[in-house]
Structure 1
């Protein structure tokens, strides 16, 4: 007899349901959402589990690693597919969700989600923290700009480090009393942002894969680490071409009037997708060295506009970076045509 389990994970408690291969419920229980508590509860059942399913959520990776370390056959499944099965239950409860997950495990109707290594999860958390600070700094700067515009003062485009001095130079006494607290907050955030950036640079300096990825034009430390943390293991992609679809940089299937033809799906990791898009912009606009990738992108820009060219180059750049990683090779600029070289 084979047995399967479904775990509906919440912040404090996890609902557990165990079914046999015929679909009959054998055991239902609840345990704290911690690896030790779940392992103890599942061991107490005393049945050999064939598969144990968890829906992807913020706690899943931590719980998955703990269960796997104890030899339990934990599987992380795609959220959308799990939700489709859960909708068949009459009422939305943790107990019913666990029942649905157990039946998914029994039938095999699921798509397994890759759980990244702990190191890659930490790297991604660092990048998210850095981006969050950057976004908040921009928000505060925009608020300060708006307050100064009310008095007719236009700041222009000072650098981030020169922003506070520029405000103090142009702002009047009345406005300055309101803006000074914002500048004090910006000063602290700027220091912490520099600390986070230094951590990224230190990691990239030691990480051989990141240094290899940075041989591609437009790819800096942030893009290299974001791509490294997102892909985790290059062998999990059967073909480099699937990386573009995985990161949401390929056209989505048009369903009714929901999407315009040619609009990218934007599924997958938003952090890596944004980093590749910014790298593509840098390659097309700032890079001066000729490469076949840049020539290809500029040809698209002339025919279809720069916005589409950025997306196309970002997708192709993701494919190239994966191939570079898998083959342990540097970026190939290609051979410049004789007419252009002259």
Structure 2
């Protein structure tokens, strides 16, 4: 069956990429658990009429202790939950520091982070997912590989496009979308890519513009990797 062409060659990632991928997923696991932990604390206090409201990471524990100061039973429960939250935060800080050390010493990731909106997590996630840029003949194929292209519905005379496919690596896709969101919504640095995204947002919607910019980011980052070039800020440079 293999010789007859029923199966295609599967890319096996390098050991380094697999290890770095484990670092990313472990960090993301702790980020999600920390958020769930805080939501559980908020939910446990709500039936007692105690609302936490907005509280920063550093001020969250102080706010909880303030709310349950005159409720001994609740204080006992909250101290146990806050202690486990502290452990999660400590371990998350260790993994994040390790991630930053890796990215700081990686020339490719440093080049990726020159793009507005692209941070350490996005740069490393993209590198470990693609692993070897030469396995994609065209840079445009990377967007499809990460599920950032619309689904195609074809039957007879019907030919319509749906939502994005969401195939491939979900962590990298979400990281690219987050980078596009930062570029379009928060970054004050103007680039040809941002201008292109803003034009789409005016014509269609901001959400569609973010997906389009995320797909374009994947294409640009792959081309930067293949060519060994830096990010081109203006249309003239591109």
The answer for unaligned runs of 5 or more in structure 1 is 1-103, 337-342
Aligned to 1:237: 136
CA distance in 2, matches of 1:142, 1:210: 33
Which residue among 176, 181, 186 is the counterpart of 1:286?
A: 186
Residue of structure 2 in register with 1:169 after alignment: 66
1:302 offset after TM fit, Å? 2.0
The 4+ residue runs of structure 1 with deviation greater than 3 A are none
SS in 1 for 2:150: coil
Give 1:335 deviation, angstroms: 5.5
Counterpart check, 1:313 vs 2:218: no
Over the aligned positions, Cα root-mean-square deviation in angstroms equals 1.7
Deviation readout 1:155-187 (Å, 9 max, x if unpaired): 222222321112112235232222221111110
1:313-339 CA-to-partner distances (Å, cap 9, x unmatched) read 110111011111111111111159xxx
From 84, 89, 100, give the equivalent of 1:185. 84
Correspondence for 2:173? 273
More strand by share: 1
User: 2-side partners of 1:149 and 1:333: how far apart?
Assistant: 49
Give, in whole Å, the separation in 2 of the partners of 1:194 and 1:161: 13
Secondary structure in structure 1 of the residue aligned to 2:164: coil
The higher radius of gyration belongs to 1
One of 160, 169, 186 as aligned partner of 2:57: 160
What is the TM-score of this pair, normalised by structure 1? 0.65
Q: Does 1:108 align with 2:8?
A: no
CA distance in 2, matches of 1:261, 1:149: 44
How has the CA–CA distance of structure 1 residues 309 and 206 changed in structure 2, closer, same or farther, with 3 Å as cutoff? same
Whose helix proportion is higher, 1 or 2?
2
Q: Distance in 1 between matches of 2:51 and 2:107?
A: 45
Match of 1:66 in 2: none
The answer (yes or no) to whether the contact 1:147–1:175 under 8 Å persists in 2 is no
Q: Distance in 2 between matches of 1:145 and 1:255?
A: 47
